[in-house]
Structure 1
Amino acid sequence: MVSKKKLAKLTASVGAIVFGVVATQAVVNADTVYTVKSGDTLSSISYKFNKNNSLVNEIAQKNSIKDINKIYVGQRLIIKSDGEIQPASSQTTTQNSNNTNDSQQVSTSTVSGSEAAAKAWIANRESGGNYGATNGQYIGKYQLSASYLNGDYSAANQERVADQYVASRYGSWTAAQQHWMANGWY
């Protein structure tokens, strides 16, 4: 008897051959890229994929998460169909091409490492990572003054202006995060 998992792999492979597409390992194994959303916890992510909390420690370990109570909006995980969890590569993006809502736009940033973590931390605190968030005169993912954005509220402009603002005011995203933690704003 063929299991559903093996049948899905076989179907994906045959379909790829019929349509002349090269089947990659990610397609054959039905990997899932999961992007952390506002309100997510490691427990809720584990439950989504395993219907229990048994993956929490494995997710944390595989992704070098030191505090299981701290994950950030926009953080990406690859969850393999066999339950194995790996960090997503920086080349992986998850954007639904049918979704044009400004709050779901995806844009890339030029910062990495601890700077990217600090930037994600601030975005999570300011707007839950939502490009469409508004609070009076403050707009977008980083809650920038509308005057800074000059009427262009696109994700790419928000990223660029936020990087410029932080560089000119604090010098780095980690310094901006320290200021935010001390004062409740940046």
Structure 2
Amino acid sequence: MAKTDMERGVWKAPAGLDAAIQGIKGLQFNMNDAQNGFLNPKAVNALRYFDPAGPVVWGARTLRGEDAISDDFKYVPVRRLANYLELSLQRGTKWAVFEPNDEQLWSALRISIGSFLKGLKSQGGILDYQVICNETTTTPDDQLQGIVNVWIRYKPVYPAEFVVLQFQIEGVQLSS
């Protein structure tokens, strides 16, 4: 995971041919696509062997990733991105703790968080985002209690678990 994080970001699934498992040469059992296809909808990420990569994780599901379950955090990179955003934004907004809780602060938070999310979008980590911090999210009662509420909506990038190809072959002769 650490290698994938460093090279591609937390939003990339730590799986596939570019995420070979280091330190082992092979697997005792090498499953085929049909066997893997049976496990994947049940949220089991298989270990597979592919030349020349070697042993790899061939799946990116969380324990909440069964096909029968509808869940925002079905995929490992989507869950890891949410964790990364939460931690990064908590750390990156500590400066706001002792600021006056008013429109000027709300604007500064929108700009600061928006800048961070814009950077993630430009790196391919998210598809889109929205930052809301105003009198709708933070009521006068919230202000009296020293609370600022920031709502962040973002659209994560989901793994391309299934890629559908359609193609034509032209010039095929009809047999008579």
TM-score (norm 2): 0.22
Query: Higher relative CO (CA 8 A, sep ≥ 6), structure 1 or 2?
Result: 2
TM-score (norm 1): 0.21
